[in-house]
Structure 1
């Protein structure tokens, strides 16, 4: 004997946030509201039921399929973040979230100086999200928003309210994700040559010309190069900006703890902890970025080489009509694994060191309670206290970096490769251990990993 379920079925979509009633075959008798409620109950749908739609279905005013229930989607919160404050030449404040600075490579090569007392960063406090509930009555929990304690960087202090970063010197800012430094600047008025030699500076380095092959530039802060970088070695504790591009011929290396911005890369060896932003082309290069790789300005093509990005890749064209082998990697890289291991090791070492220092400090305090300390013992007490403060700050900094790394790992299931124009054959796509080889030309597509399979979807 046929039942109501033989005539209707319910499909759940969007992680059970939407229920659609479909018709298997015509129902000979009249459908009642109770019939539909029975179907809903037995399917377990108890939330977000649209009674008006059900009534319209019964009255024949709506044809199937129809959305009969919708849950309440979760509202993601926003974690606290640090927003740099940039000053234009006229000293007007220009506040941005960091990415605002990187709109035009010509503009970001020269960063105006700040003076002692300037506010160079603002903490934007977290916003909590709201849990949702699906049509089955199940709560959809949002990830808790993260807070962080604003800490001073090099040559900066934190305001009493804990929300502003203030410069202690005249210099140029070098922002990181959760700390802002102000460094003095070293200027080279032209190309780097034998008269200047290699550079190792504890601040920002600004080279108004190019950097030829064989030279080394090391900066604690940012490196800005107005010309071309050839097969040289550049290492920055902050970000690197190269206006005229990189022509490395497979030599040298460029490493940045922050981001790298440049016009093009030809046969470069690049490693960045942040994002790689390229205006025009990446050709036959070895790229390893923990964040995103963006190459979608101008032609925006990536041809040849190996491109690895922790969070995703966006490009206009991948490969070329000559079917040059081009490889994309998205997800956990060896660099991420090594960093996680190093942070955990450093935290354990700091915890062990703090235990020893705390025991020594307690011993000194007990002795102090029994009588006056000698001058040498008083000096030792001050040194131990200072070392405890420094070690604690270092440990907390490593813990925050480890949490940031875990955020990166958590975001990887959502990582994607977006290709806005063409992807050519002989392009290999890797998501961790999963591989997909492109055999035919595709246009305007995105590659995602879903259920242990690399899927292709149209943009």
Structure 2
């Protein structure tokens, strides 16, 4: 506290105390009387003489003149404290919490396969935003002097690879798909998700916008989806795998009736066993056993075994293998030279056509009964409305049926016009194998060595290698 300032007057003494920072002043009227002969102007002049011109509480002066608050210090003036500006800070729009938590659905059921192991980032996604610093509010001391407020401190982004700053300098934006790497405040996007072990209960299911590398296996019952390529150093065990790119499995694929392997690119693996596979590119493997495969491109089965035995293979182009079937006559079905997607599409259209024809048949009976009532003028307004709705449904289904028939005919023509692929057997093909090339069929009834099957003059012909 600063030194007291004294001033005598007729009825006593004025004692003024001013803080060192000149932000507060205390006034004490020392007197033995119950009232004092002081004017408001006198006190104001006294304060002014001591450099107090701002923040004066005139109500306290009025109280003093009335004889209140005598012989005790009163806060007579107070300055305005400066308010420091707010520092800039960064809001992050990604999960930088490493803790994995199981997903809980709306019914409270916990799914331990959904652990949000990785957060996928899209190109152009805002990752972080800087909230700029704010100016402070200046203060004023008792002298009326301005007290400068501290400005808020700015902060800079720390940028890593595959990110950029927005034009206004306030946002960090991803330059590609991938996942965020956040270390020591630095933001980067990594296009590769590398999983050091297995995809299992420790990771949960994986959904990622970039490439995925699994050092171990993809365990049974789990799910991996990637918008890039997937590479697995181990085995895919009865798991569902979907990739927009290539799938490389350094060991093999051991499937089941439920899980499906789907890749839009090429599939390269050691073997495929008891699996369902849909591949829009080519497949290269050592052997395929008891599997259901749809491949838009070609299938090449080479290596030591080079075996295809059991199951069904629908291939848009060619099949090349060392051995097809087995000495035990394992039933093996090969369809070559027709895009499997056309077969799927025409089956979908045919199923829908069958369903619509059934509905039209029922509607026809109902509409005819309404027409009979109409002839007899026995239709109420409510029944007439129902009749009109049935007619509307009939017309909609008829239009859909016309659309389906046109598409079925178009796809059938495409299948009919398929030139067919080539089946190349480098060693042996056994009885029990059924071959479809285009729309032609051939059953293998005896063991044949080193042969090629293809269409010539509207027939499946064989030629020795």
TM-score (norm 1): 0.45
Question: Greater helix share, 1 or 2?
Answer: 1
TM-score (norm 2): 0.44
